[in-house]
């Protein structure tokens, strides 16, 4: 009878009190939530109940604002954020997810594009106004049990900011960091990725010292404001001197004192829309093909020149759709076209390429803007996300140094590991790449991000061991040399620095 009672109690706990985990890797996956997505029309309407918290390590509630009279933090949508006056209690509901998902860190972001720059410039300009702000932040975090604050001032020194914003932003961050330390709060910031913004707005080395994580907004490099067609988040630029690319931004940050393990690479879950000036244009060229001043709107987001991935993927997966899919090799991005309409966006493949680069460079992880424009309803399918992993694996599998590296690392045999999840395993005495099975699933891009991180971490581990063996003069025959030439041509970004993991 006691055994039965114990079994019953255990069963009840497992059903009623079960806590759930997060990603299986040790990298950060920071998920911003645009809380105004709840006002979009169905099926693009997104509420906090639509979240899948297991896909993220951090959730960022976006946005709070700044009361410019009192220099204090405030809710921008009290009915949605707070409980008073029969409000929807968004703060409480999001933080409450930690009861079921204890791995989560939930922070509050302040700022955003619509908040502008001047009020933050004024607040940061004096010790007393910074102190008032910091006091209000501590009160807000304590009242609603957030784990920390994300600063999204867009941007110091710019958009009617002041030249001294650069230094004052560092002072604000330093003073916030010192005030947060006794409470263990997290302090992060979202930084702009344009060259002039990074040069004028940020003392990157000092910010890296005081911030726990730096969220790099590696998107919005191009849009209709250029008056020519371009990729929203190109992996590489279209020329040697093109600074508007993810790769250039990351290299700039690393060379200007940002610790790689504190850098979180921003990935867009949306694309940019264009209307061609000449609808009859046959060949489209990034950086050259003229477009109109304004793009077209998506059916859910309703913003000219912008479409969420959940709006775009429906077009790309509809076989009767007039949209034609293209891949732009130089920037590693897809685009689709229907006559005069063009959408340049990110899909699973382009996201996986950026994830692999982030892991190779030892970055702390990735963030997404924003999770509410992923395919959270599960209407689409990502079938080609791992093409580049497959191509690299084909070149790895017969290389004798890779084989030796795999032996040293004790990669498990396929019969000894579970059947779920992406992995590198040994099958028939060869290195085998096991990929997720294509299927319709909610959050196709978020699933791709986490699977790609898992694979990229393991691939880097193998290649680091290959590098170590090569440095110790592993001898190859002439026949072997050709098989392993991919080390120079394919895996360019391998680094030897240890990626420290912060338990933030």
What residues are labeled active site? 154
Q: Name every residue whose Cβ is closer than 8 Å to that of residue 316 and which is 6 or more positions away in sequence.
A: 323, 325, 336, 347, 380
CA separation for the pair 500, 84 (Å, rounded)? 42
In this structure, the number of other CB atoms found within 10 A of the CB of residue 466 comes to 24
CA separation for the pair 134, 144 (Å, rounded)? 16
Q: Angle formed by the axes of helices 444-471 and 400-409, to 10°? A: 100
CA-CA distances (angstroms) from residue 286 to 218, 225, 263, 351, 366?
18, 14, 28, 19, 26
Query: Which structure tokens are listed for 14?
Result: 């497992």
CA-CA distances (angstroms) from residue 44 to 132, 147, 374, 376?
39, 29, 10, 9
Q: What is the DSSP letter of 296?
A: P
First to last CA, the chain: 45
| Contact in structure between 273 and 343 (CB atoms under 8 Å) | yes
In this structure, the number of other CB atoms found within 10 A of the CB of residue 127 comes to 9
CA separation for the pair 154, 162 (Å, rounded)? 12
CA separation for the pair 364, 360 (Å, rounded)? 11
CA angle 450–454–455, rounded 5-degree value = 120
- Please list, residue by residue across 193-229, b when 16 or more beta carbons sit within 10 angstroms of its beta carbon and e when fewer do: bbeebbebbbbbebbbbbbbbbbbbbbbbbbbebeeb
| Contact in structure between 104 and 22 (CB atoms under 8 Å) | yes
Give the H or E element holding residue 400.
Answer: helix 400-409
């Amino acid at each position: 009878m006691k055994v039965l009672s114990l079994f019953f109690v255990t069963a009840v706990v497992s059903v009623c009190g079960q806590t759930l985990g997060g990603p299986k890797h040790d990298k950060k996956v920071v998920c911003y939530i645009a809380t105004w997505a709840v006002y979009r029309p169905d099926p693009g309407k997104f509420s906090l109940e639509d979240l899948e918290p297991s896909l993220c390590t951090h959730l960022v509630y976006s946005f709070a604002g700044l009361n410019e009279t009192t220099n204090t933090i405030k809710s921008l949508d009290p009915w949605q954020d707070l409980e008073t006056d029969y409000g929807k209690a968004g703060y409480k509901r999001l933080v409450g997810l930690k009861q079921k998902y204890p791995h989560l860190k939930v922070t509050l972001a302040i700022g955003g594009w619509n908040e502008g720059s001047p009020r933050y410039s004024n607040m940061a300009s004096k010790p007393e106004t910074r102190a008032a702000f910091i006091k209000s932040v501590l009160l807000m975090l304590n009242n609603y049990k957030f784990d920390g604050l994300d600063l999204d001032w867009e941007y110091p020194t710019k958009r009617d900011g002041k030249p001294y914003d650069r230094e004052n932003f560092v002072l604000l961050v330093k003073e916030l960091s010192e005030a947060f330390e006794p409470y263990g709060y997290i302090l992060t910031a979202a930084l702009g990725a344009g060259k002039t913004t990074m040069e004028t707005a940020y003392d990157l080395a000092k910010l890296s010292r005081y911030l726990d994580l730096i969220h790099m907004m590696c998107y919005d490099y191009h849009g209709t404001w250029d008056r020519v067609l371009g990729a929203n988040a190109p992996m590489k630029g279209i020329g040697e001197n093109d600074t508007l690319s993810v790769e250039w931004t990351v290299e700039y940050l690393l060379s200007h004192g940002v610790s790689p393990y504190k850098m979180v690479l921003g990935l867009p879950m949306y694309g940019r829309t264009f209307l061609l000036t000449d609808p009859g244009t046959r060949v489209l060229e990034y950086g050259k093909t003229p477009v109109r001043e304004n793009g077209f709107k998506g059916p859910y987001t309703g913003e000219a020149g912008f479409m969420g991935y959940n709006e775009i993927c429906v077009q790309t997966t509809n076989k009767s759709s007039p949209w034609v899919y293209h891949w732009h090799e130089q920037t590693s991005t897809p685009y689709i076209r229907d006559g005069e309409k063009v959408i340049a966006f990110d899909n699973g493949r382009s996201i996986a390429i950026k994830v692999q680069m982030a892991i190779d460079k030892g970055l702390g992880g990735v963030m997404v803007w924003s999770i509410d424009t992923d395919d959270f309803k599960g209407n689409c399918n990502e079938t080609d996300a791992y093409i580049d992993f497959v191509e690299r694996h084909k070149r790895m599998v017969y290389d004798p140094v890779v084989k030796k590296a795999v032996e040293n690392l004790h990669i498990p045999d396929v019969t000894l590991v579970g059947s779920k999840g992406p992995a590198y395993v040994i099958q028939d005495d060869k290195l085998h790449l096991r990929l997720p099975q294509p299927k319709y699933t909610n959050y196709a891009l978020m699933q791709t991000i986490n699977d790609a991180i898992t694979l990229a971490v393991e691939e880097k581990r193998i290649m680091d061991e290959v590098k170590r063996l090569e440095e110790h003069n592993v001898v190859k025959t002439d026949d072997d040399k050709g098989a392993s030439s991919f080390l120079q041509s394919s895996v360019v970004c391998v680094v030897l620095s240890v990626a420290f993991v912060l338990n933030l």
